Amino acid sequence: MSYDLSRVDYTLCGITYPDTLKILPASDQKLKQRFVVGDKNGVLQCLSIKDEEPVVNFKTLPGKPITCVQLGSNAGNTSDKIFTASGNEVKGYNRKGKVFFAIETSVSETITSMSVIGNDLILCSGRTITFYRDLQELYTYICDDRVLDSTPFSTPNSVRVRLLVIIANKEALIVENGKLLQKIYVPAGPTSITVPPFIGHDVSAIYGSADGSIGVLNYQESELTSKCLVPGAGLGSVTCLGWLNNSSGYHLAVGRHDGSIQLHLINSENLNDKPRLKFTYFSGEPVTSVCGGVITTDEPELLAATFSGRIFGLRSNRFMPGNISSASLDVLANRRSKLEAEVAKLEKQAISEREKYQRNTRSFLSGISVPPLLEIEYELTGATHNNWQEVKLISAVPLDVLFVYCENKLEIQTDSTAVLSICTQQENNSPELLATIRCQAGTRRLWMRIRILDDNETKMEGTRVLIYVLPTGAPRVARLIKLYLSLLPHYSKYESPDIENKQRPCELNILGPFSVAEMTAWLSQILPGELPRPSTTVIFARSHTTLGTFLIYIPEDCCLNAFKLLEDKFKSAYNYHKECEIKDAISSLDLDENVIKNEEEPVLCSDYLRILNSLTKEDNMEETFEVLIDTVEKWYLNWCKISFMGRHSNAHLLKLQHALQNCNISEIEECLTFKTQTDEN
Amino acid sequence: MQVSSVQPVFKLELNHKVTPGIVTIAKYDGTHYCLTASAGYDKIIIHHPHGGMSAGRAQRSQAHGEVSELNLSQAVIALEAGPIKPDCARDMLLIGSPTQILAYDVHNNSDIFYKEAPDGVNVIIAGHFSKYTDMLVMVGGNSSVSGINCEGEEVFWNVVSGKVISMITFDFDKDGKNELLIGCEDSYIKVLKDDHFIMEIAETGPVSCLSNINEVRFAYGLANGTIGIYEEGIRLWRVKSKQNARNLQWSGENLVCCWANGRIDWRDCTGRVLRRVQLRSDAAAMILADYRTVGIPDIVCVSTKGEVLGFPPILDNVGSNTAKIAPSEEDRLAVTELLNKKQALMIELQHYESNAANTSLDIDRPDSAMPTNTRLQVAVAADTDEGCLQLAVSTNNDTIVRMALVLAEGIFDSGETLARHPHSAQLRSVLYIPLKPPRDVPVDVHIKALVGYPESEQFHIFELTKQLPRFSMYTVVSSSIVKSKVVNYVSFRITERVQRICIWINQNFLLDEEIEINNEETKELHISFMCLRDMSRLDLDFCPDGQVKITTHDIRLAGDLIQSLAVFLNLSDLQVLQIHIYYF
């Protein structure tokens, strides 16, 4: 049976980052709990709710954006010490709002997540994890990719702290004392982790991931394992996790990028049991925090914050109508009328300001109008199958229209709720793309996919895509977002630089009077995603998302070598491709289901039947074969370009294409040796 | 207001694929409804849940016990049913194939008539039209409509400018007799009364569906995804979707729209979506029928895979969620709504606040700055070199127009927008946008322009709406330059002062300067235009004796001009004296 919870709005704050809302533990006298929220304006507020009306316990002055809020914990219990991180600073507040702790750390990037356990402070910023004990830096650990979240576990009979870390290249690590103990790859791509409140000394945590799925990470007997519990089912990526404990048990609360909030009932005896979905709510904008506690009524409720700064509760309907006394009805009506008055006042103020603003446009004395930048966050992922790259965009204000411009040929897809309209080019035969995306009312997040249409020419520079974002209401300003599609969009996955490659890797050595910064600038044109900050030595590795190859350049015989690396993958893709063709052929015959199932007089031979029944089509796989063929062909052409001054014989190319299509390995290898061609030259 | 979903009241599988759009429902025995659909090229399936079919040409289907199959030797293009025999209440099935129509009595297994349709068959409807007392079968072809009686004789026929793709009978002028509403592929809804068209409603795309609502209203859907409602020839509302509307039906007090992708939504009388259902596959059709025989018609949806779902009309105050809302809940919803408003207002105020903070400072062009007295001006001018209208958008200072979007329907080759985004080297404070309305209809163009400095990260949005008059693609040329070579003309006589004609010209053409007649005594007017599309000549001559001569090689334009002039002058009847056409 699923729960029936309804939304109660409490208050507004500024833009919030993930996990910046926390519920304080209940104090002894009072049953009701307070909560703290930190926003982008740098304001930290501690609030309690009385009769659905927010009461401010304390509120700080605006400052640097608060990117992380955490409660201290001691020996497994959460304390009421509040810690906030903004930039490289960490501050501690007690429950009265008094600063008892402030430190400016040495980390170079913004702190994105932190934990406080006893006297230990663990900070994650960029690729580094920094461990402080008693305000002394104990160690730092540098990961292969950005750290997304981390959580500490105390080790039995030891003062050492074990860290479970998830990083952007879809890996989960166990780090202890600055050393890597274990590392595994989690294909779903975890984005945030949370430790169940009921867990003892085990090292286990629930993760939510980029594909929307939920799973569990366990570290037992020096073995880190992951298990998917709930598949993504088309929901957006997980942005935050929380817990709600009520009479029916422990619930995992999941907040997602697409605005959904879900409650899953978790078996506290066995974390690996499949959670039961109890409740789903769509808030319409990305959810940044979810947590459970006793806020208004005696029953625990779920408290959520969104990107734009809405804070609301989701609570059981049992406490809603009948049980409410007439007194609280009055209180509610009172709250409503108070808000109405406030909005009316604001409206009046806005109208007068608007008039003032418009009057300015007619005056001769020109001032300068400098509206603040629209609050928009966006993300461009590396290419996955078929060259598609995803752009996710969230906004604090509802969106009206987006205009996309690109000088090169670009293909674009978007949400099914938005109307995409491709405009005619400004000049005939120009490859440029001009497109508009008209959003439904109230849209605050948008998803689109873009890919460069291949004109079979090796490009020397990346592609710039301009997106103009026009909001629905005031302020009437449009923000320009510049995206850069790199030359090698597939190489988005970070790898550990010291991979043991079975094959001899191809090497490119560049020597010259340039700095690491210059090199990084050059690489940023080529590779997608963020690069490590320039320092004296930068080592990193990337891998191809579909081919599984690492960065490759073309020295002597490289085509053949490279192909040999791929050979197994190519063969399996070929077989799969053939089977798909057969299946298509059979299904296009449109045979009656009864005929197929008729076992007495089989119409299809057993092999065909197996293919028809067993083969489930996956987009990725089917395209892989095409991608492989394209890649090999391109290698061939590029090689010709470099070594034969751009000349290549069409006959040879055709021969190669034919060989590739039919998976004739020996012939392909022969082509890729370039023997005959070199002779001709 | 949240959109709710609904559960169907009945659900069945036909176990046959259904061709989209070729579905009807009929009482072949006079009492029980049978769902009838095309199930592939020449196969018709009849679902008869209320009893067996008398054996005949129809054969029982192997895939479903309550379905009979009927095989024709020709492709099935359209299906319709109606009690066309005057003395019989049973519905007859009308089957349209590419070149003929067959009327078939399913109950008696006999053919009623068989009629060749040389102009093709796109739509068939059965209904009462004009003065004819018997029910007629009306057929929409590629450029005509015709009416056939139950004997298979043609009783009327008329030419239509475009391919007919939808039709309904509707008492448009409320005289007690039905007119025929014709949805054409060339984006017009035409109203045929007796033997002439009394109204042409210009729409922005092929009119793919029409549906009756009540005595004064009808709903329409276009192939570009727009749906809307007309009342007495005036559009009440319209909304646009990415999908195409398959069918529209009025159920209870709601407009139900069935989209091609299998989504069905219920809208209230203002177009707001109340509830929504998604079929498991694409929709083939949606019809209104009392398939459960309970006394009120249900919405019956058929998917292309043969799934049939029935939904009852939404009844007010019967267990609906909205009725049960407690006062406290209402307050909470109001609070949520108020906080929404508060949030939006605070963001707006923040914007003004930071403006005020900055006016005192002398900042040299930060990323999102703009002088406060920037204004945007828009002008439209004919460009004879490019053969188009140039919409010029310009600012009044050194800011530049980074980008301009023009939103209008039906005038662009692709999509609903036209955009101009100049190269960074070509950024100016003025931007030209070429427009080429393909048809002579009035167009509202909405312009969104982004103004700022070349390196800005944020631009100010300026929005303007400009109306292009109906004949904006014709620009005035001095009649003295070249004498018109066009010899084709239409002439007729009107009794109207030339001053009134001037008003009509000023309203319907795009002129640099309005034509003025200073002298009260002036009795004639001669004016020449050039069409920007093909540079052809148009001469209008209004003579003192009331004779009007329209000289153009485009007979359609002449017709449009007469129509527009007649509407303006409120003429109900106009006798054309002469149409003079030379064929070269």
Tell if the pTM clears 0.80, that is, is over it: no
Bridge partners (DSSP) listed for residue A354: none
Strand partners, B211: B219
Would you say B33 and B290 are in contact if contact means Cβ atoms under 8 Å apart? yes
Are A360 and B327 in contact (CB < 8 Å)? no
| Res. A33: pLDDT tops 60 | yes
The whole-number average pLDDT for the span A478-503 is 69
A187 or A574: which leads in pLDDT: A187
Segment among A46-55, A562-571, B151-160 with least mean pLDDT = A562-571
**A332/B359 Cβ within 8 A:** no
Alpha-carbon gap: A11 to the closest alpha carbon of chain B (Å): 8
| Lowest-pLDDT choice from A621-635, B100-114, B202-216, B424-438 | A621-635
- Predicted local distance difference test score (pLDDT) of residue A182: 86
How do residues A66-99 score in pLDDT, each as one tens digit? Answer: 999 998 887 667 788 899 999 889 999 988 888 8
Give the CA distances from residue A292 to residues A9, A29, A33, A70, A215, in Å, rounded to whole numbers and listed in that order: 15, 20, 10, 15, 20
Distance from C-alpha of B494 to C-alpha of B512, rounded to nearest angstrom: 27
Closest chain A residue by Cα to residue B407: A436
- Which of A6-15, A373-382, B265-274, B321-330 shows the lowest mean pLDDT across its residues? B321-330
Q: What is the mean pLDDT of residues B218-238?
A: 88
Task: For residue A366, give how far its alpha carbon lies from the nearest alpha carbon of chain B (Å).
Answer: 6
Contact residues, chain A, for B271 at CB < 8 Å: none
| Structure confidence at residue A612 (pLDDT) | 59
Question: Strand ranges (DSSP E) for B268-333?
Answer: 273-278, 283-289, 298-303, 307-311
What pLDDT does residue B322 have? 40
A321 preceded by a cis bond (ω within 30 of 0): no
pLDDT in tens, A579-599: 666 666 666 665 555 555 555
Which of B327, B402, B457 minimises the CB distance to A373?
A: B457
The amino acid occupying position A108 is S
Closest CA of chain A from B420, distance in Å? 7
Does A420 contact B242 at a Cβ distance shorter than 8 Å? yes
Q: Given a cut of 50, is residue A680 above it in pLDDT? A: no
What is residue B485's DSSP assignment? -
Can you tell me the mean pLDDT for B338-351? 84
Chain segment A114-170, per-residue pLDDT in tens: 888 888 888 998 888 998 888 888 888 888 788 889 888 877 777 778 889 998 878
Q: Which residue has the higher pLDDT, A581 or A450?
A: A450
Whether pLDDT at B202 is above 60: yes
pLDDT at A475 over 80: no
Closest CB to B368 among A340, A373, A426: A373
- Cα separation, B62 vs B50, whole angstroms: 18
CA end-to-end span of chain A: 76
Query: Long-range CB contacts (< 8 A, 24+ apart) of A606-611?
Result: A608/A582, A611/A579, A611/A582, A611/A583, A611/A586
User: Measured between CB atoms, which of A309, A342, A366 is closest to B372?
Assistant: A366
Residue A223, pLDDT > 60, answer: yes
What's the mean per-residue pLDDT of chain B? 82
Closest CA to A552 of A516, A509, A508: A508
Using an 8 Å CB-CB cutoff, list chain A residues near B329. Answer: 6, 320-321
Among A318-327, B128-137, B235-244, B571-580, which stretch is predicted with the lowest mean pLDDT? A318-327
A327 three-class SS: helix
For A631-643, letters b (16+ CB in 10 Å) and e give bbeebbbebbeeb
Instruction: Answer yes or no: are the C-beta atoms of B538 and B557 closer than 8 Å.
Output: yes
Which of B417, B448, B450 is most worth mutating to test chain A (most A CB atoms within 10 A of its CB)? Answer: B417
> How large is the average pLDDT for residues A331-347?
85
In the prediction, which pLDDT does B221 show? 92
Indicate if the pLDDT at residue B469 is higher than 50: yes
Q: Structure tokens of A385?
A: 């199958």
* Cβ contact B339–A419 (<8 Å): no
Higher per-residue confidence, A490 vs A133: A133
pLDDT of residue A134: 85
What is the nearest CA distance from B128 to chain A, expressed in angstroms? 40
pLDDT at A327: 55
pLDDT over 80 at A642, yes or no: no
**Nearest alpha carbon to residue A76 among A197, A218, A174, A241:** A197
User: What mean pLDDT comes out for the span A525-532?
Assistant: 66
Summary mean pLDDT of chain A: 77
How many Cβ atoms are within 10 Å of A515's Cβ, its own excluded?
10
Residue, of B578 and B236, whose pLDDT is higher: B236
Rg (CA), chain B: 29
Question: ipTM score here?
Answer: 0.70
A and B: number of Cβ contacts within 8 A? 222
> Highest-confidence range of A224-233, A411-420, B211-220, B555-564, by mean pLDDT?
B211-220
DSSP assignment of B547-565: EEEEE-S-HHHHHHHHHHH
Q: Quote the CA–CA distance of A272 and A220 in Å, as a whole number.
A: 13
Residues of chain B with C-beta less than 8 angstroms from the C-beta of A349? 345, 349
Distance CA A410, CA A449 (A): 10
Q: How far is B7 from chain A (nearest CA, A)?
A: 18
